[in-house]
Amino acid sequence: MRTTSTRATTLPYFWYTDPQLLAREQERIFRRRWQYVGHLGQVPEPGCLAVARAGDVPVLLVRNSHGDVRAFLNVCRHRGMRLFVADAKRATIQCPYHAWTYDLDGRLRSAPRSGSEPDFDPEALGLISLRVDCWGPFVFVNPDRDAAPLAGTLGELPNLVASAGVDVDALRFRVRSASSYAANWKICCENFLECYHCQVAHPSLTEVLDVSEEAYRLDEATWYSSQFGAVAENWSGGFDPRGPVGHGQFHFLYPNLTINIVPGSPNLSIGPVIPEAPDRTSRFLDYFFSPDAPESWIESYLTWDDGVGKEDAALVERVHQGVRSGMLDRGTLFRSERLIRHFDRLVEEDLE
């Protein structure tokens, strides 16, 4: 499914609207890649359960009796019931449909009336285990149980974050912000991957960061890409960018993870872009701050970031409206948008 062109272009526009292509993306991308699903604070002690998703795969994070974090398919082995729809704390995992009960390591402990069933083997009917791994407090899941370790996907990304003056293990979770968009998930990712639009569409952002072509740096690695922005020379705006973190860093980990660090007090926001339908995307951002970050600074930053996010929501929805017209084949990419091409190549390779 690789595209060819003599100039840098986007993916074909029908790739952003075709339901069959989204089904292929779920199979070839989201069921094979590491994805951020939450943080360790959601499962702080044994018996804590947290619901999550990896693409369209329902995930259940569990802190077992030994203190280990496990990940399971959040689906009962009996009739396919989704086990939990909200975070909980339980000594066991019990299906609300027919009371099949599993221990915190996924083993089937009991199933009503199973004693009268011939050849019933509870050992073969435990919960489906998923690969789980962590980077600091950040929890990742991969539905592919044969996947390589998370570290290979992260590469040098943890070192880049540390170089900003952010110790992820010292951060404290503050809040999760959830949103949804009437746009394809790839449009949302591509919007994150360039700041060519910032001077036009994000006046409050350009008051804080220098997003000129000469100053705004773009880098790419195998599985992630990065944007680096210095504080604007005559900064102004909603929050004070002075502090231990001197530059902004904005990373994208394929296939759908956004990571943001702004200048000022140590901070990091992290969250996935999740396809719901060809024309519907949901996402969330988990915000973390250093324990000594001033409360007033946190509040001013969150207000500023919420404003930028609302501007992006309007942008991606209008892009999707144009793309779905069917009157254009694809778009054109400039050098300032080369990280979009990096992302598009990875999508193309996974769908081949």
pLDDT digits (tens, 9 = 90+) for 147-193: 999 999 999 999 999 999 999 999 999 999 999 999 999 999 999 99
What's the sign of the alpha-carbon dihedral 160, 164, 169, 173?
A: negative
Q: Quick check: 291 and 166 in contact, CB under 8 A?
A: no
Q: Tokens at residue 290, please?
A: 């250093």
Band of residue 6 on the pLDDT scale cut at 50, 70, 90: low
Q: Domain segments of the chain: what residues?
A: 35-148, 164-351
pLDDT in tens, 87-113: 999 999 999 999 999 999 999 999 999
pTM for the whole structure: 0.96
- Residues pairing with 172 in the sheet: 289
Give dist(CA 284, CA 265) in Å, integer.
Answer: 22
Closest-CA residue to 176 (of 202, 125, 138): 138
pLDDT at site 238? 79
| 134 contact partners, CB below 8 Å, separation of at least 6 | 40, 69, 140, 150
One-letter amino acid at 54 equals A
Structure confidence by residue, pLDDT tens digits, 262-311: 999 999 999 999 999 999 999 999 999 999 999 999 999 999 999 999 99
- Interior/surface letters 134-163, b for 16+ CB within 10 angstroms, e for the rest: ebbbbbbbbbeeebeebeebbeebeebbee
Supply the pLDDT for residue 1.
54
Tens of pLDDT, residue by residue over 110-133, are 999 999 999 999 999 999 999 999
The pLDDT value recorded for residue 82 is: 98
Dist. CA 211–CA 231, nearest whole Å: 9
Contacts of 80 (CB under 8 A, 6+ apart): none
So what's the pLDDT on residue 7? 77
* Distance (Å, whole) CA 236 – CA 128: 52
Q: pLDDT by residue (tens digit) across 26-63?
A: 999 999 999 999 999 999 999 999 999 999 999 999 99
Residues 134, 296: Cα–Cα separation, whole Å = 30
Cα separation of 280 and 278, whole Å? 6
| Predicted local confidence at residue 2, as pLDDT | 53
Cβ-count burial of 116 within 10 angstroms (0-12 exposed, 13-18 middle, 19+ buried)?
exposed
> Does 3 have pLDDT greater than 60?
no
Q: Cα angle vertex 331, ends 328, 333, to 5°?
A: 170
CATH of the domain spanning 164-351, picked from 3.90.380.10, 3.40.190.10, 3.40.50.80, 3.10.20.600: 3.90.380.10
235 near 241, Cβ under 8 Å? Answer: yes
Tell me the C-alpha distance between 78 and 62, whole Å. Answer: 20
Amino acid sitting at position 258:
T
Fold (topology level) of 35-148: Rieske Iron-sulfur Protein (2.102.10)
